[in-house]
């Protein structure tokens, strides 16, 4: 398809005008397909409801004692807002009607709604997780939660924003249905539900094997040269230029182009009222031939763009930092992800410590979902808890060592091991993963120890080190019982994020991650 994907917009739009219910003035009453039986509506916020009917007709929505009436426009489009509602776990009927027709949605509750996105590790389903982890098998077998609801969005990409989804519906979480849904989404919802005691819904738009660019609204590709070039090249079909540019990707299909998945999967859902967003992606921005540089700018555009289309700059955005993997580029992608924390109301779940570090799809989504859930529990729901592990703050360079200071130390730093369902503090154990660089620019494995809430890093015979880094080795060790970076945490047992005190000493070399031939 290539350039025809964007250059043949007139014919595409013509087809859409014929087939899209929202563009058909003769359509009968329809409500946007994101609404269905079993849905969760967001508490404490305006709840937009929209659809299409006969032109210039009164449309009435009734739910939980509210009755709102609007008149459709000359094309039959209508939109209304339900007033903010309190939590309600008692299922009710949601009705939308005209003089001639009524559409009813059953088993509707009010609680917390989160929107999730990303690629295959977000889409990795609970059934697959249960097939590989005993604890997950138990959790899935007991996953009968009438007030946890899910909605999968599986529509294809589109050259223009779609006005409605092609189909699909909400479903209730049980031990069978949960197997097909995002494991991260399930664990995240399960934790919120268990703590808040309210209905929780998750809408997932993830698509395996896709980069970040197609999830970003086209209008958000501004403010940075990389963003502007990506948008321009996508519009002109210049895939070769996208491959070669800094921060580029190897465009494998039209679904990889700027805005393509947003148009098909996200535009038809917004502005369905949500509490916030969760995100797990970056693998396809640092795979074979992909250049992870400027990923932080893409993340900022994604966050800015989603908040804009939902009409709320305060919606929180929590995301997963990539785990270990034997890839040169992943080290740089993790740092780009860390840099995006400068966006307000964001948080990052660090996973570099988790086991299965030789698996592109690590099955332990339990810790991933649990760690993500800590952020809203602390920030939105105001529970007194720690959400983040140690984050690099500053260094003090001495003649024979570097002292590293961190934020989020939570009463101190610890050395120990942890994996699914267990922790094991080892006070006298060794901290792995720290390196010092000499005046020639060569990095050396170094000794590291915790002292007075900081980490002292040194190496015998190396004086006046220029910088320190942690968990930045380009190739992750495989076949270990414990992950190399499993031991450095705070007292909330949350891991430290990888860092380098001077990234100018770690220039990215594209030749080490070449395009496929």
Mean pLDDT of 270-278: 99
- pLDDT of 211 reads 98
SS3 of residue 49 by DSSP: strand
Helix runs in 8-69, H state only: 9-19
Pairing relation of β-strands 317-320 and 88-97?
Answer: unpaired
> Hey, how many other C-beta atoms are within 10 angstroms of the C-beta on 271?
15
Domain residue limits, the chain? 110-382, 388-509
Centroid of chain to Cα 463 = 42
Q: Indicate the CATH number for domain 110-382.
A: 3.40.50.1110
pLDDT in tens, 203-256: 999 999 999 999 999 999 999 999 999 999 999 999 999 999 999 998 999 999
Q: Is the pLDDT assigned to residue 20 strictly greater than 60? A: no
Indicate the average pLDDT of the chain.
Answer: 91
- pLDDT of 15 reads 35
SS3 of residue 200 by DSSP: strand
Tokens representing 161?
Answer: 């924003």
Q: What are phi and psi of 102, to 5 degrees?
A: -135, 130
- Pick from 321, 318, 323, 322: nearest CA to 375: 318
Q: What are phi and psi of 163, to 5 degrees?
A: -90, -20
- Pick from 258, 153, 161: nearest CA to 207: 153
Q: Give the residues across from 395 on adjacent strands.
A: 404
Tallying the residues shown for the chain, one arrives at: 517
- pLDDT of 241 reads 97
pTM over 0.85: yes
pLDDT in tens, 295-331: 999 999 999 999 999 999 999 999 999 998 888 999 9
Separation in Å, CA 88 to CA 51, 379, 383? 24, 22, 21
Mean pLDDT of 414-418: 75
């Amino acid at each position: 398809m290539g350039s025809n994907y964007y250059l043949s917009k007139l014919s595409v739009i013509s087809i859409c005008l014929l087939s899209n219910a929202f563009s058909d003035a003769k359509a009968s009453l329809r409500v946007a397909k994101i609404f269905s039986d079993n849905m969760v509506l967001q508490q404490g916020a305006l709840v937009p409801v929209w659809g299409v009917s006969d032109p210039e007709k009164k449309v009435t929505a009734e739910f939980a004692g509210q009755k709102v009436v609007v008149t459709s426009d000359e094309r039959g489009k209508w939109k209304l807002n339900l007033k903010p509602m309190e939590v309600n776990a008692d299922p009710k009927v949601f009705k939308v009607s005209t003089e001639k027709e009524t559409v009813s949605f059953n088993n509707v509750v009010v609680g917390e709604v989160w929107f999730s996105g990303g690629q295959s590790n977000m889409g990795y389903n609970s059934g697959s997780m249960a097939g590989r982890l005993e604890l997950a098998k138990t959790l899935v077998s007991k996953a009968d939660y009438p007030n946890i609801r899910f909605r999968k969005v599986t529509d294809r990409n589109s050259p223009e924003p779609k006005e409605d989804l092609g189909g699909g519906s909400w479903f209730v979480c049980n031990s069978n249905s949960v197997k097909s849904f995002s494991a991260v989404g399930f664990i995240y919802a399960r934790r919120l539900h268990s703590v808040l005691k309210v209905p929780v819904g998750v809408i997932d738009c993830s698509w395996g094997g896709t980069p970040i660019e197609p999830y970003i609204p086209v209008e958000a590709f501004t403010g940075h040269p990389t963003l502007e070039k990506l948008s321009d090249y996508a519009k002109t079909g210049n895939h070769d230029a996208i491959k070669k540019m800094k921060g580029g990707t190897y465009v494998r299909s039209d679904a990889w182009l700027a805005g393509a998945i947003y148009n098909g999967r996200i535009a038809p859902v917004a502005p369905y009222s949500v509490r916030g967003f969760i995100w797990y992606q970056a693998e396809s921005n640092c795979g074979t031939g992909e250049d992870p540089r400027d990923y932080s700018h893409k993340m900022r555009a994604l966050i800015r763009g989603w908040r804009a289309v939902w009409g709320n700059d305060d919606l929180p955005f929590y995301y997963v930092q990539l785990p270990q993997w034997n890839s040169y580029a992943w080290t740089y992608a993790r740092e780009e992800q860390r840099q995006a924390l400068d966006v307000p109301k964001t948080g990052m779940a660090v996973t570099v410590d988790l086991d299965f570090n030789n698996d592109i799809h690590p099955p332990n989504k339990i810790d991933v979902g649990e760690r993500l859930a800590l952020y809203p529990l602390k920030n939105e729901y105001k529970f007194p808890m720690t959400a983040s592990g140690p984050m690099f703050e500053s260094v003090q360079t001495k003649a024979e060592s570097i002292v590293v200071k961190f934020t989020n130390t939570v009463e101190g730093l610890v050395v120990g091991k942890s994996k699914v369902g267990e922790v094991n503090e080892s006070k006298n154990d060794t901290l792995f993963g720290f390196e010092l660089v000499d005046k020639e620019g060569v990095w050396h494995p170094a000794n590291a120890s915790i002292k007075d809430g900081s980490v002292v890093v040194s190496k015998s015979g190396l004086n006046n080190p220029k910088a320190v880094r942690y968990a930045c080795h380009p190739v992750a060790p495989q076949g270990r019982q414990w992950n190399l970076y499993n031991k450095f945490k705070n007292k909330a047992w949350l891991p430290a994020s990888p860092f380098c005190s001077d990234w100018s000493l770690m220039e990215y070399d594209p030749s080490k991650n070449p395009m496929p031939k």
